[in-house]
Amino acid sequence: MADKEKAKYRYKLLFERSSDALFIHDAEGWIKDVNQKASHMLGYKPEELKQMNIKDFTPNWLKVRVARSLNQMKESGLSHSEHELIRKDGSTIYVSINASLFDPEEGLILGAVRDISKNKQNENELKKLYTAVEQGPSVVVITDLKARIEYVNRKFQEVTGYTFEDVRGKNPRILNSGDNPKSMYREMWHNIKRGKEWVGEFINRKKNGETYWEEANISPVIDNAGKIVNYVKVAQDITERKRQRKDSEKTEIF
């Protein structure tokens, strides 16, 4: 086998066995060649794709962006983008595309496309969870295993008067009013270090020196290997509830 034929064979082997969907197209987006992964990803036969333009499976609102990316390819020879593609059955997938100049003489571009739909879905779920925690009605504090604060939400800052920068890396004892029994802390650490949840009440002190009552649920965060990696506290300011109960008890006495 001649060297040229060997090189062509190796190229075709790598092209077909790539874990990414590969598209070779010209500067206008007209597809010249694809591998089986690309065919499987979009649901078209290779022969069908070779009659298409990459804009044919791009949502209308993205066509301008695709055209812009193609123009960038003409200038720099490289581009990266993430966006939706429409499959033959009408469903959409979210992909990451790395494109490079494949054949400068003929102006051909090689696009390596990877389906990141699951990653994008997980990212969106995390964003939703973060928004729920950040804007939620409960105080949330996350610490590392040495009880150094790694995260506090907006409610924490509203209740305590401390900003995240005030408490980052510090121990939650910064809130300690000195009115809580040491035995309570020993019980708390005994539980959470053993992977158990602890529920109790604290008398805490705000940044301005004012004290308040807090009902807290403190739990370990356990990874897939069963190892504790963080501690998280979810708490509510129950000062008003305590005050009303105290006033009610006074009324009953009289």
pLDDT digits (tens, 9 = 90+) for 154-163: 999 999 999 9
Q: Dihedral angle at the C-alpha atoms of 244, 153, 123, 67, nearest 10 degrees? A: 120
* Fold of the domain spanning 136-253: Beta-Lactamase (3.30.450)
Question: Residue 44 and residue 243: Cα distance in Å, rounded?
Answer: 69
Secondary structure (DSSP) of 25-36: E-TT-BEEEE-H
How does pLDDT run across 164-211, given as a tens digit for each residue?
Answer: 999 999 999 999 999 999 999 999 999 999 999 999 999 999 999 999
Multiple choice CATH, 3-120, 3.20.20.70, 3.60.130.10, 2.40.160.40, 3.30.450.20: 3.30.450.20
User: What does 120-175 look like in DSSP terms, one character per residue?
Assistant: HHHHHHHHHHHHHHHHSSSEEEEE-TT--EEEE-HHHHHHH---HHHHTTS-GGGG
Write out pLDDT tens, residues 107-117: 788 889 999 99
pLDDT band at 105 (very low <50, low <70, confident <90, very high): confident
Confidence of residue 81 (pLDDT cuts 50, 70, 90): confident
Residues of the chain with CATH 3.30.450.20: 3-120, 136-253
Give CA separation, 136 vs 142, 203, 237, in Å: 15, 22, 13
